[in-house]
Structure 1
Amino acid sequence: MPSASESKGASARSTRSDAVRNRQVLLDAAAEVFVASGVDAPIREIAARAGVGTGTVYRHFPTRADLVVAVYRHQVEACAEAGPALLADSASPFAALRAWTGLFVDFLVTKHGLADAMRADSGGFEALHAYFLDRLVPVCAQLLDAAADAGETAPGTQAYELMRGIGNLCAGSDDDPRYDPRRLVGLLLQGLRQAE
Structure 2
Amino acid sequence: MSGAQARPLRADAARNRARLLDVATEVFTTRGVGVPTEEIARAAGVGVGTLFRHFPTKEALLEAVLVRRLETIAEQVTRLAAEAEPAEAFFGCFRLVIDRSAGKTEFTQALAAAGVDAHEALRESSAVIRARLAELLAGAQRAGVVRPDLGLPELVALLVGTGATMDQLGTDAAARERIFEVVFDGLRPR
* Both proteins in one fold, TM over 0.5: yes
Question: Which structure 2 residue ranges, 5 or more long, are not aligned?
Answer: 1-6
User: Does 1:187 pair with 2:182?
Assistant: yes
Change (3 A) 1:54 1:98: farther
- Cα deviation 1:86-130 (Å, max 9, x = unaligned): 12333x2222223322332234323121213331316x2342464
- Cα deviation 1:49-72 (Å, max 9, x = unaligned): 544344332221121110111111
Question: Which moves more between the two structures, 107-116 or 175-184?
Answer: 175-184
What is residue 100 of structure 1 aligned with on the other side? 93
Match of 1:109, SS state, is: coil
What is residue 27 of structure 1 aligned with on the other side? 21
Identity of paired residues, percent? Answer: 32
Q: Matched residues in 1 for 2:188 and 2:66: separation?
A: 31
Q: Is the 8 A contact 2:140 2:146 kept in 1?
A: yes
Write the letter of the residue equivalent to 1:52: V
User: Does 1:36 pair with 2:26?
Assistant: no
Equivalent residue runs for 1:147-162 within 5 Å:
147-162=140-155
Match of 1:112, SS state, is: helix
TM-score, with length taken from structure 2: 0.75
Q: Is the 8 A contact 1:153 1:192 kept in 2?
A: yes
What is residue 114 of structure 2 aligned with on the other side? 120
What is residue 145 of structure 1 aligned with on the other side? 138
Change (3 A) 1:177 1:25: closer
Write the letter of the residue equivalent to 1:192: L
Change (3 A) 1:188 1:26: same
What is residue 5 of structure 1 aligned with on the other side? none
Q: Matched residues in 1 for 2:47 and 2:143: separation?
A: 50
Question: Which structure 1 residue ranges, 5 or more long, are not aligned?
Answer: 1-11
User: Does 1:88 pair with 2:82?
Assistant: yes
Q: Matched residues in 2 for 1:129 and 1:34: separation?
A: 18
Q: Is the 8 A contact 1:153 1:194 kept in 2?
A: yes
Q: Is the 8 A contact 2:20 2:41 kept in 1?
A: yes
TM-score, with length taken from structure 1: 0.74
Q: Is the 8 A contact 1:31 1:110 kept in 2?
A: no
Q: Matched residues in 2 for 1:87 and 1:132: separation?
A: 16
Q: Matched residues in 2 for 1:82 and 1:143: separation?
A: 13
Rg (Cα) greater in structure = 1
Q: Matched residues in 2 for 1:167 and 1:93: separation?
A: 22
How far residue 36 of structure 1 moved from its aligned partner, in angstroms, is 1.1
Change (3 A) 1:18 1:116: same
Match of 2:113, SS state, is: coil
How far residue 158 of structure 1 moved from its aligned partner, in angstroms, is 2.1
User: Does 1:47 pair with 2:35?
Assistant: no
Match of 2:10, SS state, is: helix
Write the letter of the residue equivalent to 1:20: A
Give the total of aligned pairs: 181
Write the letter of the residue equivalent to 1:37: R
